[in-house]
Chain A
Amino acid sequence: MNRIRSAEISDRVASFMLGGSAALVILILLYIIGYILIHGVGVVNLTFLLDSPRLGGAEGGIFPAIVGSLCLVAVSTLTAVPVGVGAAVYLTSYAPDNTITRIINFSVECLAGIPSVVIGLFGYAFLVVYLGFGFSILSGGLALMFMILPWTVRTSEEAIKAVSAELTEGSLALGATKLQTVRHIILPSALPGITTGVILGTGKAIGETAVIMYTAGSSLLLPGSIFDPVRALPYHLYILASEGISDEMAYGTAVVLLGMVLVINLIAVAIQRKFQSR
Chain B
Amino acid sequence: MNRKAERVIEVSLFASATCAIVIVALILLFLIKEGAPILLKLGVRNFCLGMTWNPIAIAGEPSYGIFPMIVGSIYVAIGSLILAVPPGVACAIFLVEVAPGWAQSLIRRGIELLVGIPSVVLGFFGLVLLVPLIRENIGGCGFSILAGSIILAIMALPHIITISADAIKAVPATYREASIALGATKWQTIKGIILPGARSGIVAGVILGMGNSIGETMAVLMVTGNTPVLPEPLYNVLEPARTMTANIVIEMGYAAPGDHQQALFATGIVLLLMVAVLNLMSHHVLSRIGVER
Contacts and interface: CB of A to CB of B under 8 A. Distances in A.
B124 to A, nearest CB: 5
Contacts of A111: 20, 23-24, 27
Nearest to A255: B121
Interface stretch (A70-78, A102-110, A164-172, A222-230): A102-110
Residue of A39, A107, A210 most packed against chain B (CB within 10 A): A210
Contacts of B113: 29, 33, 262, 265
A177 to B, nearest CB: 6
Contacts of B87: 21, 24-25
Interface string B182-214: 000111101100000000000000000001001
A11 B185 contact: yes
B279 interface: yes
Residue of A26, A146, A178 most packed against chain B (CB within 10 A): A26
B43 interface: no
Interface string A56-96: 00000000000000000000000000111011011100110
B124 A203 contact: no
B216 interface: yes
B119 A124 contact: no
B124 A254 contact: yes
Interface in A96-140: 100, 103-104, 107-111, 113-122, 124-126, 130
Interface stretch (B48-56, B90-98, B169-177, B229-237): B90-98
Interface string A1-15: 000000110110111
Contacts of A179: 1, 5-6, 9-10
A74 B279 CA distance: 30
Interface string B25-57: 011001101100000000000000000000000
B68 interface: no
Nearest to A236: B120
A149 interface: yes
Residue of B23, B33, B93, B116 most packed against chain A (CB within 10 A): B23
Interface residues of B, number: 87
Interface stretch (B58-66, B134-142, B270-278): B270-278
A180 interface: yes
Interface in A213-248: 213-214, 234-235, 237-238, 241-242, 247
Contacts of B30: 122, 125-126, 130
B228 interface: no
Given A28-B154, A257-B118, A242 B20 contact: no
B95 A22 contact: yes
Interface in A178-224: 178-180, 203-204, 206-210, 213-214
Given A25-B114, A241-B127, A87 B17 contact: yes
B176 to A, nearest CB: 15
Contact of A122 (B10, B31, B114): B31
Given A122-B31, A125-B265, A18 B94 contact: yes
B21 A103 contact: yes
A150 interface: yes
B222 interface: yes
Contacts of B256: none
A115 B185 contact: no
Nearest to A142: B23
A257 B94 contact: no
Nearest to B188: A7
Contact of B18 (A17, A104, A251, A269): A104
A149 B124 contact: no
B122 interface: yes
Residue of A8, A125, A206, A213 most packed against chain B (CB within 10 A): A125
Given A29-B114, A87-B16, A89-B13, A22 B119 contact: no
A242 B226 CA distance: 12
7 contacts: A28-B154, A87-B17, A109-B279, A113-B215, A121-B265, A203-B116, A251-B128
